[in-house]
Amino acid sequence: MPTITLNKNYLLKLLNKKISDKELEEKIPMLGTDLSKIEKNEIVVEVFPNRPDMLSEEGFARALSSFLGIETGLRKYEVKRSNHNCKVEKELKSWPYAVTAIVKGLEFDDEKIREIIQLQEKLHLTHLRDRKKGGIGVYPLDKIAMPIKFTSESLDKIKFRPLESNKEMTGREILEQHPTGKKYRHVLENEEKYPVFVDNDGNIMSMPPIINSHLLGKVDETTKDVFIEATGTDLNALQQCLNIIVTTFADMGGEIYSMDVLYGKERLVSPNLRPIKMKLDVSYVNKLLGLKLGTREMKVFLKKMGLDYEDDCALIPRYRVDILHPIDLVEEVAIAHGYENFVEQIPNVSTIGEESEESVFYKKIVDTMVGLGFLEVNTYHLTNEANTNEKMNNDTKFVALRNSLNVDYSILRNWMIPNLMDVLSKNKHNEYPQKIFEIGACFKDDDKEETSIKEFTRLGVLIAHNKADFTEIKQVLDSLFNNLALDYKIEKVKHGSFIDGRVGRVNVKGKNVAYIGEIHPQVISNWDLELPVVALELNLSDLMEVIL
């Protein structure tokens, strides 16, 4: 979790109330943050990554003020039109989005500049995943000639003086020599063109997400008006970060002005601070929390968390990025009610605990496989497209992570055999035969599910040695289904991962539930293996629907 240091005197000034250290020590953890220490004029807190709006004194004070009942309810921020625009030229597909805003009438000092720098750094680290999803820039408005253009240019043609540098450098020199350039060059690694902001006079303002220009992008105590931009790969995340930044500036006394961001013929007015509406039934909250709240009481609790409630809908400020589902609103009500105020109750029911049918079924499968001399392994739910499709000579649909931190773990697995092949490839030094299996969750897109992703359980089985063949893996299937008292049929199919004529589709009571066969030599070679491999993949979720 990101740790921030808050100026206690400034925080209390924002709260407009005297609060003792003892009360702060008591109340801050109840808000959902971890208090590390209060020492002299510093408050050190750990803020959960889902609350980036609390990464500044203004944002923290805003949340604490509502929670303490000083100023409750939804904060409203006026956004005036600036009549300025930013043209986005989508030449760089790997970094396509930009959102912008203007804030005027600010009074900076060393403390506020330190705070804004801290806020930017923490947003970069958390919400923007160490700049992999985007970057944020703040500039003195009076040094910029409007309108602005967000475009891309080759590294050798980019020339400007980077922040805190004493000389002009090319884009390539910045990536190779400047400390910030070297630290973040991996974000757009191997790109010959880099994104740049250029003002109407042709001056380069910055090279996002790396660094600002020293001449056009350095805020100091003389700065009154600022231009703010956020660029990157995730438009929603960028808008959220911009909303957090501009509302922080507004709480410093600034006035927010919108800009028109032009994407060709499309026009995006930025920022948008209109509250989000989310349906929330009082009965739903009461059922989950065991309370008997009325509409008025629930509204009081939501206002205590900086929200509001009208016409059976919660009103959520745009800087709150943590509320994605009604269950998140239930948590807000629980925090406002106070976990210490919930009364423990023994349910007026009598039940007997027992294993679920699924657990009993899976345990029977495991016992059978162990009895047949197989070793159980456990692999990650996360994998990558190369392992899932390319190495398996296959082409399947998968669920990709929107913000993966590692190319090796960028998708959710949709079948088991690739993971088991990976296990074999890492255990070539061990003796053969190698007989392994795994029961685990797999995933696929499904619009019928609330999350648009369906989870199901599969059994994967592999045998590797110099005489492994179809007959041996079929004997495993026979033993498994005999133990389950099931009959099955095998139908001929084609599958890129298996040898033609030595692969089949297993059918139980009219439902296809498994693939069985000899792995194709090309696939074996792709995994750098040298011995024959036979495999069985059984969809246990589908099988349970048939037999239970």
The answer to the question of residue 145 being in a domain is yes
Q: Is 40 exposed, middle or buried (0-12, 13-18, 19+ CB in 10 A)?
A: exposed
The answer to the question of residue 347 being in a domain is no
The answer to the question of residue 23 being in a domain is yes
Q: Which tokens sit at 149?
A: 């253009």
Say if residue 95 is in the same domain as residue 186: yes
Say if residue 242 is in the same domain as residue 297: no
Is pLDDT of 419 > 70?
A: yes
Q: What is the DSSP letter of 275?
A: P
Report pLDDT digits (tens) over 149-162: 999 999 999 999 99
Contact 206, 137 (CB under 8 A): yes
Q: Which CATH number is 187's domain given?
A: 3.50.40.10
Q: What is the pLDDT of residue 405?
A: 67
Could you list the residue range(s) of the whole structural domain that residue 12 is in? 3-67
Alpha carbons 202 and 18: distance in angstroms, whole number? 51
Q: Which CATH number is 433's domain given?
A: 3.30.930.10
Say if residue 291 is in the same domain as residue 264: no
Say if residue 49 is in the same domain as residue 149: no
Q: Which CATH number is 288's domain given?
A: 3.30.56.10
Among candidates 362, 359, 395, which has minimal Cα distance to 376? 362
Q: Which tokens sit at 461?
A: 């089985």
Report pLDDT digits (tens) over 395-405: 999 999 877 76
Say if residue 286 is in the same domain as residue 266: no
Q: What is the pLDDT of residue 345?
A: 83
Taking the alpha carbons at both ends of the chain, their separation in whole angstroms is: 44
Alpha carbons 26 and 28: distance in angstroms, whole number? 6
Report pLDDT digits (tens) over 55-70: 999 999 999 999 999 9
Q: What b/e string do you get for 304-328 counting C-beta neighbours within 10 Å, with b at 16 or more?
A: bbbbbbeeeebbbbbbbbbbeebee
Q: What angle do CA 132, 89, 154 make, to 5 degrees?
A: 70
The answer to the question of residue 280 being in a domain is yes
Work out the number of other CB atoms within 10 angstroms of the CB of residue 287.
11
Alpha carbons 274 and 75: distance in angstroms, whole number? 11
Domain boundary residue, one of 42, 67, 92: 67
Say if residue 416 is in the same domain as residue 516: yes
Domain boundary residue, one of 20, 42, 67: 67
Q: Write the CA distances from 343 to 135, 297, 333, 385, integer angstroms.
A: 46, 18, 15, 50
Say if residue 57 is in the same domain as residue 166: no
Work out the number of other CB atoms within 10 angstroms of the CB of residue 529.
17
Q: What is the mean pLDDT of the chain?
A: 94
Say if residue 310 is in the same domain as residue 434: no
Q: What is the pLDDT of residue 406?
A: 76
Say if residue 200 is in the same domain as residue 162: yes
Say if residue 416 is in the same domain as residue 366: yes
Domain boundary residue, one of 246, 270, 294: 270
The answer to the question of residue 345 being in a domain is no
The answer to the question of residue 112 being in a domain is yes
- Structural domain total, the chain: 4
Say if residue 85 is in the same domain as residue 217: yes
3-state SS class at 291? coil
Q: Write the CA distances from 472 to 239, 465, 537, integer angstroms.
A: 57, 11, 15
The answer to the question of residue 346 being in a domain is no
Say if residue 177 is in the same domain as residue 116: yes
Element holding 181 (H helix, E strand) = helix 179-184
The answer to the question of residue 348 being in a domain is no
Report pLDDT digits (tens) over 341-360: 998 888 788 888 888 899 99
Contact 134, 232 (CB under 8 A): yes
Is pLDDT of 518 > 80?
A: yes
Is pLDDT of 98 > 90?
A: yes
DSSP letters spanning 407-447: GGG-EE-S-SHHHHHHHHHT-TTS-S-EEEEEEEEEEEE-T
